[in-house]
Amino acid sequence: MHQPYYKNLLTHETAAPWVRLHGTKDYLDMVKMLEKFPAINLTFNFVPSLIEQVLDYANGQIKDQWLELSYKPAAQLSAEDKRFILERFFSISRDNVICRSPRYFQLILKKEQNQEFNTQDFLDLQVWFNLSWIDPYFRKERPQLKAIVDKGRFYTEKEKKAVLDAQIGILKEIMPYYKKIVSNHQVEFTFTPFYHPILPLLYNTNIAREVNLRATLPNVQFSYPQDAKAQIQAAVDFFKEKFGFTAAGMWPSEEAVSEHVIPFMIQSGINWIVCDEGILFKSLKKKKRDTRLLYQPHVLKRKDGTLNVVFRDRNLSDLIGFTYYHLSAKDAVNNFMEHLKNINQSFNQQDILVTVAMDGENAWEYYLNDGHDFLEQLYQRLSESDFVKTITVKDYLASHPPKNQIRRISAGSWIYTDFFKWINNPFKNKAWEYLAQARKGLDDSKLQLDDAKRKLAYRQIYIAEGSDWFWWYGEKNRDFDSLFRMHLRNFYTLIEKEPPTYLNTPLE
């Protein structure tokens, strides 16, 4: 569960509402669903910087223009407000959401036909945009929300306020619920390095050439191993502070690893990590997919200690993430169970571990009913199955310690087993150069900052090291380009230096 760091540290404003909206659609109901399926065991991963932003909303410590314009009475909207709302309040799946709500569909058609919106239209649009981002589970189970859904149109300001207050209420429930069930062996919680960086590239951008010698690199090398270590340790400390114990597992950002960062994980007390199957086969120099190796945990024994690794079945994981939403829930579940049955039969009912690991919060946007039909049928079939059992990684490792040792783990990520989603592109490389130039500022011996401002400056640079900014460069995503440059400008402000003028111009 992850979102980029949208918050401006200096103004406490968020550049986008996606933490709030995904928070009401994904982060609570996916866990609460397990109350109906006690036989299902799952591992949930979260990025600390996401939880930090969720808590900002819960504690009223963030400014959200989208939310402010949602609360604003429709009769008081300025012309600029109305343009903002018309441009942005249809930001949700047209086929799976908008078209299934008659009034919402009517409004988008009205916009597309350039028809003028009256006050009631804007009020209903304010309601339907925010209501649609609340998970179907809550819209069905909470009487007030159900009544608003059933009404469908001609909403009042009071009903709108009820929807918006419900969003914040759901965000406030997330952490208390997580903490409540953390002792339940049905669920294991794991974490990712704090601001979701690509750890090997923080260590040294030249590591991209370990994967492909022809990789193009930034003209300025970025090499701050201490930052990779700090991002891991900050996440460990954050988890312990919020949950009261040290998590056993970590999902490296984008499952990106290299031999260089393994010691930092071991030193931080991490017991296991998850990676993509491509990393396994490259590490063992296997040219063909070998499920005998895939369907078992492995161990990295190093001078600092040991680290266990499980490798995800890419096929099964990607079927859920990218394919099954095209099918009916029944057909998708049947297909998934058939795959598991075939695996079981091919191993003659040996005890093996099949790891399915995927980015869960965005996948369900493409499914009908936000994935509930698929997940509930899948959990039911798994619960009834006589040949497969779900288990958390922590519990599996406790009873099945790894036997196979990996001498050196190959560098790479889940995407094509390389780092080219974040480097090896003129715009991505230029972003690394901007980052390297900024990061050098913290090493300036003339820098005179008090402890609080220095701490905030480090935090700001760690935010700028996040993977999301580099992911989107080369795809003309102006929003993320603007965010990255904003974070770097803020960094220079924090270290009391004038931001370079090139940060005022879009990078691509």
pLDDT over threshold 90, residue 62: yes
pLDDT tens by residue, 452-478: 999 999 999 999 999 999 999 999 899
> Token pair of 374, please?
């698929």
How much is the average pLDDT of 309-338? Answer: 97
Contact present, 356 and 320 (Cβ < 8 Å): yes
Rounded (5°) CA angle 355-252-269? 95
pLDDT tens by residue, 16-42: 999 999 999 999 999 999 999 999 999
What confidence score (pLDDT) does residue 362 get? 74
Sign (positive/negative) of CA torsion 412, 418, 419, 424? Answer: positive
CA distance linking residue 43 with residue 239, whole number of Å? 15
**DSSP letter for each residue of 422-491:** TSSSHHHHHHHHHHHHHHGGGG-TT----HHHHHHHHHHHHHHTBHHHHHHTTTT-HHHHHHHHHHHHHH
249 by DSSP, 3-state: which? strand
pLDDT tens by residue, 70-110: 999 999 999 999 999 999 999 999 999 999 999 999 999 99
How much is the average pLDDT of 285-304? Answer: 97
Total residues belonging to the chain:
508
pLDDT-derived band at 450, boundaries 50, 70, 90:
very high
pLDDT over threshold 90, residue 194: yes
C-beta neighbour count of 19 within 10 angstroms: 26
Per-residue burial over 447-478, b if 16 or more Cβ lie within 10 Å, else e, is eeeeeeeeebbbbbbbbbbbbbbbbbbbeeee
358 by DSSP, 3-state: which? coil
What confidence score (pLDDT) does residue 349 get? 75
Among 417, 430, 443, 437, CA closest to 481 = 430
pLDDT tens by residue, 402-420: 999 999 999 999 999 999 9
pLDDT tens by residue, 364-397: 989 999 999 999 999 999 999 999 999 999 999 9
CA distance linking residue 19 with residue 492, whole number of Å? 26
Residue 137's φ and ψ, nearest 5 degrees, are -60, -45
pLDDT-derived band at 164, boundaries 50, 70, 90:
very high
Question: Residue 402 is which amino acid?
Answer: P
CA distance linking residue 220 with residue 436, whole number of Å? 7
CA distance linking residue 380 with residue 374, whole number of Å? 10
pLDDT-derived band at 361, boundaries 50, 70, 90:
low
pLDDT-derived band at 359, boundaries 50, 70, 90:
confident
Query: Both ends of the chain: CA-CA distance in Å?
Result: 29
DSSP 8-state code for residue 257: B
Q: Which helix (H) or strand (E) holds 242?
A: helix 225-243
What confidence score (pLDDT) does residue 182 get? 85
pLDDT over threshold 90, residue 54: yes
pLDDT over threshold 80, residue 363: no
> Token pair of 76, please?
């008081």
User: Where does residue 254 rank: exposed (0-12), middle (13-18), buried (19+ CB within 10 A)?
Assistant: buried
Rounded (5°) CA angle 325-327-332? 90
pLDDT over threshold 80, residue 258: yes
CB-based contacts of 372, cutoff 8 Å, min separation 6: 29, 33, 136, 137
CA distance linking residue 46 with residue 239, whole number of Å? 10
Q: Tell me the helices (H) and strands (E) count for the chain, helix number first.
A: 25, 9
